[in-house]
Structure 1
């Protein structure tokens, strides 16, 4: 009886120590960096679809052409380098850096919601 109780207490201690380890192993959102090729505004769902070609970094880095869906919930990150102005509107030719949602369609090109996006204007 004493052995069973000791075994049960030991198992409970081991499980309670291992639960935070599993819970803290969160999957990170992929990121994207690329050049804007095309912009389509969708008034129906009040979003902007930005077609861009660049690199996605998830578990590995690979080249991809994506359609980023920019919604009212997408955070626009403002560059604070030198004398750059605040840019909230994306244009063809701009460079973008975006934090993506984990869910991505398998369409060609894949579509994904942008959680955060930073727009860099290209000096011409």
Structure 2
């Protein structure tokens, strides 16, 4: 539950957004361990910083040179499986930078049904 004495619309929106964002961060922190281990298995000994923010045209992106993954806050509206898929997708870029056969092989190895979640999310982001 969220309580506030300030009922101004902009303030309420901000409080709700921040609460939802915190909840998404909690979900991500519970899911990320699997993908942190995937990097270690592939001799990549980093733990990327994960940032959650509003993005207009994509679900996430990663900057391997900065050890950083950015996740779209709108993912809070989707299942944990969809969130997990986006984490895998971004983490896979630390192993294979481009969307090559090898990249999709990594997705399939760690999440054989990844296309199911990809299709759900593709219908939303243009």
The alignment's TM-score, normalised by the length of structure 2, stands at: 0.23
Structure showing greater relative contact order (alpha-carbon pairs closer than 8 Å, 6 or more residues apart): 1
Whichever structure has more strand as a proportion of its residues is 1
Whichever structure has more helix as a proportion of its residues is 2
Q: Which has the larger radius of gyration?
A: 1
The alignment's TM-score, normalised by the length of structure 1, stands at: 0.23
